[in-house]
Amino acid sequence: MPDIKIPLLKILLIWNCCAFLSAEILAQVQWTESTAGKVWFSKTLDAVSLADDQVNVTLLAEEKQQVDGFGACFNELGWKALSVLDEAGREAILMNLFDPETGLKLNICRMPIGANDYARDYYSLNDSAGDFGMKYFSIGRDREMLIPFIQAAMKYRPNLRVWGSPWCPPAWMKTNSHYACRPDANNGMKPEQAGQEGKTQFRMEPLYLKAYALYFTRYIQAYRNEGINLTGIHVQNEMNSCQNFPSCIWTAADLGLFIGKYLGPALKETVPDAEIWYGTFERPSVEKIDTILQDPVAAPFIDGISFQWAGKQAITGVHAKYPGMKLMQSETECGYGSNDWKAAEYTFTLMKHYFSNGVSVYTFWNSVLDETGKSMWGWKQNSMITINSQTGEVTYNPEFYLLKHFSYYIQPGARMLATSGDDGELLAFRNPDGSVAVIAGNTGDAFRIINLKAGNEMLSANLEPHSLNTFVIRATKR
């Protein structure tokens, strides 16, 4: 991908609102636009004079949640896809994903603890049945692909933060002694081993619960010993979903018992700065969140809640009920391998929803896959970048540019700004350096005019159909 430098486009603006910029300034406005046929394109924005009744969006002084950053998940099949390229090709992609000056600037990323659906096959960090003391715990498998992937990213982002979540515990800790929850032709599970939502699959016995807490402790320590900034864990990926790939059902009550009596105390004793997040949560149920956050034993150990998929239907109620709780979007919906503009527009609506409901981090799923996009369990999914395993051709898909419209311009520590008016496809953020990033989409078939009021002055932009737009406003003294 070429390194495109976008000139600053200047217009005069006066921002009298003290929460924005002081009066008598020269504002510099940068407009970047992407459409299906033309991505990351610089356009001119003209100064306008509008009556108040022509304004359809107003930026307010009210600041909302802090934005900590953006990320994706490190998966084995992503590194496998990258490995078909020569060193220069790999480095170009890693730079475009992680470089804090020119890339997506990803800074908070996810990884699986053991196998997930984008692993090469099933494994855990201890497959020695009955090893309650974790004598045979090992991250040796991770040194083949996951650790090289993370360390390659750290060349561009040395302070990269990584958090982990298991798709399932070691199979011997589960009631069905199998990595999956439901059978299919790919996983060899017998019908009588199938689980069901609402029935915990973990062996809820003290010996197993204590061993699993030790498993997490060893994982955090092992990764930190590799020089990786492992910040903590989200205790179970999609704890309500019975999948044909690695998965494990937990009821909220049983997960709360594990966190409160075993995991929380174990981490507090050995790695006290490691975070515990309740997640990743994938159901439209505030009540399942209440079970944990209103448990006097488990709740003190919870640092945040992470949502994905149908969890988006619960986040509004959770944010209203627990306004001080840190929230994260932990896995953007992956689609079915279309990698097209329509998928990017849908993900834009997800980003608008999650940020409007208080998340501090937005996480994409696969950053890189081969041309099949398939998991080892057969589901073809989207990725930001596609690498053809036969030819080495690299394609930057529309969702790469969607994320760049956010992550390139929104700095860690930014605050989301409140708006009023017709802001159904608009978000605004104030960066620590004082600049303001406004992301506006137009998912319709006709041009759409945005008349934006900031202080006493206005910006007007005519957004192309099916476009993504970022406006960055910087101020300098006269």
Q: Which of 45-49, 160-164, 440-444 has the lowest mean pLDDT?
A: 45-49
Looking at the fold, whether 22 and 77 belong to one and the same domain comes out as no
- Whole-number pLDDT of residue 27: 63
Each residue's pLDDT tens digit, 398-424? 999 999 999 999 999 999 999 999 878
Identify the domain containing residue 430 by its residue range: 9-66+416-477
261-271 residues labelled b (16+ CB within 10 A) or e (exposed): bbbbebbeeeb
Looking at the fold, whether 301 and 377 belong to one and the same domain comes out as yes
- 2 within a domain of the structure (yes/no): no
Phi/psi at 114 (5° precision) = 85, -160
Looking at the fold, whether 439 and 345 belong to one and the same domain comes out as no
- Whole-number pLDDT of residue 300: 98
Name 403's Cβ contacts closer than 8 Å, sequence gap at least 6.
Answer: 70, 104, 364, 384
Looking at the fold, whether 327 and 227 belong to one and the same domain comes out as yes
> How far, in Å, CA of 128 to CA of 130, rounded?
6
Looking at the fold, whether 344 and 459 belong to one and the same domain comes out as no
Each residue's pLDDT tens digit, 172-213? 999 999 999 999 998 999 999 999 999 999 999 999 999 999
- Tell me the mean pLDDT in the region 311-330: 98
Looking at the fold, whether 148 and 207 belong to one and the same domain comes out as yes
Q: Where are the beta strands (DSSP E) in 148-212?
A: 161-165
Looking at the fold, whether 168 and 293 belong to one and the same domain comes out as yes
Tokens 């955090």 sit at which residue? Answer: 220
- Tell me the mean pLDDT in the region 330-335: 97
H helices then E strands: how many in the chain? Answer: 10, 21
How high does pLDDT run on average in the chain?
A: 93
Q: How many domains does the chain have?
A: 2
- 272 within a domain of the structure (yes/no): yes
Handedness of CA 268, 270, 276, 279 (dihedral sign): negative
- Whole-number pLDDT of residue 25: 53
What CATH number does residue 297 fall under? 3.20.20.80
Q: Which of 20-34, 82-96, 190-204, 284-298 has the lowest mean pLDDT?
A: 20-34
- Tell me the mean pLDDT in the region 216-237: 98
Global confidence as pTM: 0.94
- 1 within a domain of the structure (yes/no): no
Each residue's pLDDT tens digit, 101-117? 999 999 999 999 999 99
- 386 within a domain of the structure (yes/no): yes
With a cut of 90, say whether residue 1 has pLDDT above it.
no
Give the domain-ending residue among 394, 412, 430. 412
Give the domain-ending residue among 412, 445, 465. 412
At 10, is the pLDDT very low, low, confident or very high (cuts 50, 70, 90)?
very low
Share of the chain above pLDDT 90, in %: 87
- Whole-number pLDDT of residue 47: 61
- 107 within a domain of the structure (yes/no): yes
- 3-class DSSP state for residue 196? coil
